[in-house]
Amino acid sequence: MIGGLFIYNHKGEVLISRVYRDDIGRNAVDAFRVNVIHARQQVRSPVTNIARTSFFHVKRSNIWLAAVTKQNVNATMVFEFLYKMCDVMAAYFGKISEENVKNNFVLIYELLDEILDFGYPQNSETGALKTFITQQGIKSQSKEEQAQITSQVTGQIGWRREGIKYRRNELFLDVLESVNLLMSPQGQVLSAHVSGRVVMKSYLSGMPECKFGMNDKIVIDKQNKGGSSEEGGKSGKQSIAIDDCTFHQCVRLSKFDSERSISFIPPDGDYELMRYRTTKDIILPFRVIPLVREVGRTKLEVKVVIKSNFKSSLLAQKIEVRIPTPLNTSGVQLICMKGKAKYKASENAIVWKIKRMAGMKESQISAEIELLPTNDKKWARPPISMNFEVPFAPSGLKVRYLKVFEPKLNYSDHDVIKWVRYIGRSGIYETRC
């Protein structure tokens, strides 16, 4: 299991050092600094073995988190734990920076004592932790409170405490998707997938039982088996095939496996209910058509057309097209029909920004790039990348219902105010040129 956990600043100075196992000595702290943080070459693996000691590291801004072990630990678990640790710290004091870590070092030690015992991760749900570890020192608790804390931390529903009350029961549901694309210069889709998340904010009283439904093809097909065939044909178009999905630990997985229904008792406040991935019938909101022509050795002509491919009543926002330029670029002339374009020498790219663009439109930019003569090897031509935000889910996912039951309290599903929002963003959206 994890033998120790260290946090360093960008210079390699230790900010936090907590050793859990006897086989990890103080020299491990230095070994990581010398061999990874101060390494002359860029680190080529997130797992490093130095003198039979393994180091796992992640970086958040310029803070290094390193877990150390001498055993054959579950490597996936160690990384998941490090991310979780970052989440927990962020939930307590915001951004993970040297300043914040130093300001909260007592708190961090306290957290590390609680969520890692002898190197074994324990309950790390912030909701539960915050009931008894606070930045303002420890709250004095009554006996009932103590019992409640321990039963929550160890209990089956570790993510929610009893006795939550709201005057207004409200639910916010966001479907956030990032659409990823790799397209060949000829417009052939090399790979495309949507990775989506269903993020919720719930302000519900008591211990509500929730049921979430979407236009999952498997569920809809199952329902249509009983219904008329005409309807089946219609909804077949509207349902989507989900390649895979994963759920927050509150969701009853065995129930999903057997009935494909998503039921859970939600945590209070913000959380991510599920993640999913689809690859079929993706709506690609934009198409990029590049044209690069090398005119002699010192000039390059680039023309890029973007086409929006969604309902004309909808508006895409924050559109940005990034056209890479060779390292030996000496000057760029730009003409674009819409938005603003700029050559950014420090980033070796032309950045073209458009605030808004409606569906079924097209726009183009042309650029003349002057090059300095050079003997370097040929330019690698990185892909043209794009950023945007659209108000629909590119996977076609639709929320069908979210039902709330709380038998013990006197509010029903109808009394809950529910908000649903769809946002599609670009993930890695690239077209080779």
Of 40, 165, 237, 378, which one interacts with other proteins (CB under 8 A)?
Answer: 378
From candidates 160, 161, 193, 322, binder to other proteins by CB under 8 A: 193
Among 62, 94, 95, 154, binds other proteins (CB under 8 A): 154
Closest CB 213 distance from other proteins, rounded Å? 16
- Exactly one of 8, 64, 92, 247 binds other proteins (CB under 8 A); which one? 247
287 bridge partner residues: 307
Q: How far is the CB of 7 from other proteins (least distance, A)?
A: 9
DSSP 8-class letter at 84: H
Distance CA 38, CA 11 (A): 8
Q: For residues 35-74, which are near other proteins according to CB under 8 A? A: 42, 44-52, 54, 56-58, 69-74
Q: Does 397 bind other proteins (CB under 8 A)?
A: no
Regarding 177 and contact with other proteins (CB under 8 A), the answer is: no
* Cα–Cα distance, 261 to 224 (Å, whole number): 16
Applying the rule CB under 8 A, the residues between 331 and 370 that interact with other proteins are: none
Angle at 146 between CA 143 and CA 152, to 5 degrees: 140
Q: Distance between CA atoms of 274 and 402, rounded to whole angstroms?
A: 14
> Does residue number 246 form part of the binding site for other proteins (CB under 8 A)?
yes
Nearer Cβ to other proteins (276/310): 276
Rounded-to-integer distance, Cα 89 and Cα 274, Å: 22
Residue ranges in 97-136 that form contacts with other proteins under rule CB under 8 A: 99, 102-106, 109-110, 113, 117-118, 120-125, 132
241 binds other proteins (CB under 8 A): no
Spell out the residues 6+ positions from residue 111 whose beta carbon is closer than 8 angstroms to its own: 85, 88, 89, 92, 129, 133
Assess 162 for contact with other proteins (CB under 8 A): no
| HSE, side-chain direction, 13 A CA sphere, residue 93 | 20
Comparison of 122 and 333: residue with beta carbon closer to other proteins: 122
Residue 126 buriedness (CB in 10 A; 0-12 / 13-18 / 19+):
buried
The answer to the question of residue 14 lying near other proteins (CB under 8 A) is yes
Which residue's CB is nearer to other proteins, number 52 or number 165?
A: 52
Beta strands in 279-328 (DSSP E): 286-295, 299-308, 315-324
Smaller CB separation from other proteins, 50 or 315: 50
- Asked if 1 touches other proteins (CB under 8 A), the answer is yes
Contacts of residue 367, defined as CB under 8 A and 6 or more positions apart, other chains included, come to 301, 302, 303, 323, 332, 333, 334, 335, 341, 343, 350
From CA 43, how far away is CA 37, in angstroms rounded? 8
Q: Does 77 bind other proteins (CB under 8 A)?
A: yes
Q: Kindly state the smallest distance separating residue 246's Cβ from other proteins, in Å.
A: 4
Among 40, 61, 138, 228, binds other proteins (CB under 8 A): 138
Question: By C-beta, is 314 or 425 nearer to other proteins?
Answer: 425
Number of shown-chain residues binding other proteins (CB under 8 A): 107
> Residue 149 or residue 315: which is nearer to other proteins going by CB?
149
DSSP 216: B
Q: Tell me: does residue 158 bind other proteins (CB under 8 A).
A: yes
Residue 104, H or E segment: none
State both tokens at 211.
């049921």
Minimum distance of other proteins from residue 34's CB (angstroms): 13
Q: From the list 150, 238, 330, 333, which residue makes contact with other proteins (rule: CB under 8 A)?
A: 150
In the complex, least distance from residue 99 CB atom to other proteins, rounded to whole angstroms: 7
Q: Report phi then psi at 122, rounded to 5.
A: -110, -170
State the angle between helix axes of 229-238 and 217-226 in degrees (0 to 180), rounded to the nearest 10: 170
